[in-house]
Amino acid sequence: MDCRQWYVPMLGGLNITVMLGGRSAEREISLRSGAAVAQALRELGHIVHELDPGDGNWTLPAGTDVVFLALHGAYGEDGTVQAQLDALGVPYTGCDAESSRVAFDKLLAKQRFVAAGVPTPRYTVVESAGASWPMGWAPPVVLKPARQGSSVGLQFVERVSDWADALAEAFRYDTKVLVEEKVAGREVTVGILDEMPLPVVEVRPKSGRYDYRSKYTAGATEYLCPAPFDQETTRRIQAAGLAAFRAIGGRDYARVDMIVRPDGQPMVLEVNTLPGMTETSLLPKAAAAAGLSYPALCQRMVELALRRSGRVANLVRRG
């Protein structure tokens, strides 16, 4: 798929505030994403302010046309900052407050997937760090804090004897933990941009586990884009990604993570409404494979927000 076939002319000279950092466990990654976005937008000729809402007591710079959200984790991805910006009447990039809230809560997202018929691994929820092994389940399973991102607190349980320690670790990050069947297969991710799935990225962690360390340690993971699947399997993966995006009510863009079983069946794990935005992050990799450069991707995200707000025509006249 070639993004150049639907890309629109760029608006220049905007007053953009990039929100980065924040208070979550993913603060350092957010700072890196935001710095990369800010640099790209400045290179395009925009006036760019960087705003770190670390203490929650923040004010937008005067004259802000649009906010670029480069926040990750709680506060940034759970709908909180989106609701605050809605109250201010300022357009911002990415999903709205409600879809962000749903996607960030793995239990709510799972419920939406099931209701929409999106293929997803079997799951249950545990609400006590002292809970016993769930009835009717066999290892291996994956434990995920219900409201965390970027594999924070992720635990793989290969034996029942590992359950107690793994559960205690997962509960360090939330009061609810999702227990999910561990699906064998190839790990992939699909970016969605303006209702269109981007080329599939295959993720091959050298450790065999795509956890926090594999994500953010240089050289720990190999990425293949476009992923080496046949045409029909690729179509199936992209369709599942778009279906998951729509199931949570997504808008503008997101990244959908999946496991593809040996029979070619994709199983959706989660939707990331504010995916990593460093130049080597997975969504920019997929956009590049579709012919969209990193600065052009950032610009496109801004223009989607402005188009939705109805401000594009006014800004064109102003320019």
- Which residues form the catalytic set? 26, 150, 216, 255, 257, 270, 272, 276
**Assigned token pair, 269:** 């794990």
Q: What does R_g of the chain's alpha carbons equal in angstroms?
A: 19
Nearest to 221 by CA among 238, 234, 206, 231: 206
Burial class (CB in 10 A: 0-12, 13-18, 19+), 138: exposed
Q: In Å, how far are 80, 81, 87, 170, 201 from 98, measured between CA atoms?
A: 9, 11, 14, 25, 27
4 secondary structure, DSSP code? G
User: 120 near 106, Cβ under 8 Å?
Assistant: no
Q: Which helix (H) or strand (E) holds 306?
A: helix 294-309
- In Å, how far are 28, 85, 196, 273 from 97, measured between CA atoms? 23, 9, 21, 10
Sequence-distant (≥ 6) Cβ neighbours of residue 204 within 8 angstroms: 187, 221, 222, 223, 224
13/41 Cα distance (integer angstroms): 10
Give the list of residues 6+ apart from residue 161 with CB closer than 8 angstroms, or none.
none
Other C-beta atoms closer than 10 Å to the C-beta of 163 total: 19
* Backbone phi and psi for residue 159, each to the nearest 5 degrees, phi listed first: -135, 150
Cα–Cα dist 292/259, whole Å: 26
